[in-house]
A and B are shown apart, each in its own frame.
Chain A
Amino acid sequence: MKNKLISAPYLVWMVVFILVPLLMVAYFAFTDKDGNFTLNYVADVAQYSQIFVRSIWLAAIATVICLVISYPLAYILTGMSKNTQSTMLMLVMLPMWMNFLLRTYAWMTMLGNNGIINSIFGFFGLGPYKMLNTEGAVVLGMVYNYLPYMILPLYSVMVKIDKSVIEAASDLGCNTWNTLFRVVLPLSLPGVMSGITMVFVPAISTFIISRMLGGGGNLLIGDLIEMQFLGNAYNVNLGAAISLVLMVIILLIMTIMNQFGSDDETVLM
């Protein structure tokens, strides 16, 4: 048991396939096509600040909507009987096991001008409304895909809150709202924070949702990176530079979020 050699294969694997690739991203970001050092590509990223702004903005909206939907849901769940809780949780999680491309595709067929939603509106003499190929559709796609990532951490934190604490609060004269804001909310803060990171990180880096639901006219960071490596604008160095900037942004956000999280959770996100 004291033998440390047993982890050697993994350590080698970790260095070769986790550490080196990330260093290569950095290497490509700071060199030009001939391998000479340059800051041009990293500087060029500034040119795409609009894309960054839009990605952060859309991801932030999606995260907030997820939070607003999930918080009451998780709270309601914790108040149910044990059996109903596990069934409900299963129902919430089930759609997550469909491939996200299929789920996004489902919305694509529903939101179109001739999609099922507009034909329902049409039945009442309304519309058709333009829903597909808008930013709203992109946000909807993010919310739909990542909602379970918000519900789960919230639920798992709330379910641990001792019910007697809440009872004590109301015994001591707190009304429902006061209990919620002064007792439940602070206690569930770690869950809120890990939920936010778990939704925000995939949302900011997505490249399929914007293409399928956003019409391809307004790129997000993910699209921009994909375009440099496998798409219309082949430029590996620029792609690496954008990836590097994205990593830094996410690192920043994670650090902020970790400030709120409880200490023992820092290792496990």
Chain B
Amino acid sequence: MKKISKVYLGLVLMFLYVPIFVLIVFSFNTTKSRTVMSGFTFEWYAKLFRNEIIMSSLANTILIAVIASVTATILGTAAAIGINNMKKLPKAIVLNITNFPIINPEIVTGVSLMLLFVFFAARMNLEFGFVTLLIAHITFSVPYVILNVMPKFRQMDPFLYEAAQDLGCNSRQAFFKVVLPEIMPGVVSGFLMSFTFSLDDFIISYFTCGSDSQTLPVTIYSMTRRKVSPEINALSTLIFLVVVIALVLKNFVERRSESRSLKTKEESL
């Protein structure tokens, strides 16, 4: 039984990884062929870095992800505080509407925002571009922040805030010194979630991007629709590498802090 399960696990992992490794291997190929390796080269990487369209959309993607996730985190945390204090019915209504962008297919969210922006574009001086992309990214990010922060309030002792006030904190101090540290894990995970979703989003960006700014996924899409050059393989390899390094680092940090806390526990014993 053990052996079978190991083989099975191996097969699934193979299914998941073989396509990626094929992409990576052929990013070093001297020719554009995808079946025959004819030599080893870094040419496609050099070309990739020289490709202004890719580089500018990468910069765009990061800028939008940073601004959108920070804004969404602030907006969402504030919203969660207010929603937490609402009565049952309004709370349920707001939470359900908040869930729409998560439940709805992305294409519907993208299309609906596009219709809204077209409406504004016709009446006010709004142009599709950086601003519309940013609004769209904030819109689909906020619900994830709220979803992450809300449970933290449920876990928190409701009298903590009042206790802080009784002990002489004004309401601002009470919030920043007592409440915020309590909900911080939720805020951080909400931020990280919206940040990564914003980096990776294609469908909503596709419908809301304009003439002067594209995100990297939109550029990748137009690359796959044209004469395909192994630059795209090089790009995949780099993204994969970044992801692997990020995960390993994260794991490393986690294990270290775990072992450290274990040590301090032992010492205190």
Contacts and interface: CB of A to CB of B under 8 A. Distances in A.
Interface of A: 1-11, 13-14, 16-22, 24-25, 28, 69, 72-73, 76, 79, 86, 88, 90-92, 94-95, 97-103, 105-110, 112, 114-116, 119, 144, 147, 201-202, 204-205, 207-208, 212, 222, 225-226, 229-230, 236, 239-240, 243, 246-247, 250, 254, 267-269
B257 to A, nearest CB: 14
A247 B247 CA distance: 36
Interface stretch (B49-57, B76-84, B185-193): B76-84
B105 A14 contact: no
B130 to A, nearest CB: 16
A97 B12 contact: no
Nearest to B16: A95
B88 to A, nearest CB: 13
B120 to A, nearest CB: 10
Contacts of B105: 201-202, 204-205, 222, 246-247, 250
A246 B8 contact: no
A5 B112 CA distance: 28
Contact of A7 (B81, B221, B239): B81
A72 B35 contact: no
A19 to B, nearest CB: 6
Interface stretch (B17-25, B38-46, B62-70, B261-269): B17-25
Given A225-B107, A240-B111, A10 B22 contact: no
A269 B103 contact: yes
Contacts of A79: 5
B232 A105 contact: yes
* SS of B interface (majority): helix
A19 B200 contact: no
A243 B112 contact: yes
Contact of A25 (B15, B106, B108): B108
B95 A267 contact: yes
B75 to A, nearest CB: 5
A140 B44 CA distance: 29
Contact of A102 (B99, B119, B235): B235
B217 A101 contact: yes
Contacts of B196: 97
Ranked nearest first, the 10 interchain pairs of A and B with the lowest CB-CB distance are A7-B82, A10-B79, A205-B105, A21-B112, A106-B19, A76-B5, A21-B116, A97-B243, A17-B139, A7-B79
Contacts of B104: 247, 250
**Residue among B9, B35, B79 with the most chain A CB within 10 A?**
B35
Contact of B116 (A6, A7, A17, A147): A17
Contacts of B15: 144
A219 to B, nearest CB: 13
B198 to A, nearest CB: 13
Contact of B34 (A2, A8, A95, A115): A115
A267 B94 CA distance: 11
Nearest to A147: B16
B115 interface: yes
B95 to A, nearest CB: 6
Nearest to B246: A97
A152 B243 CA distance: 19
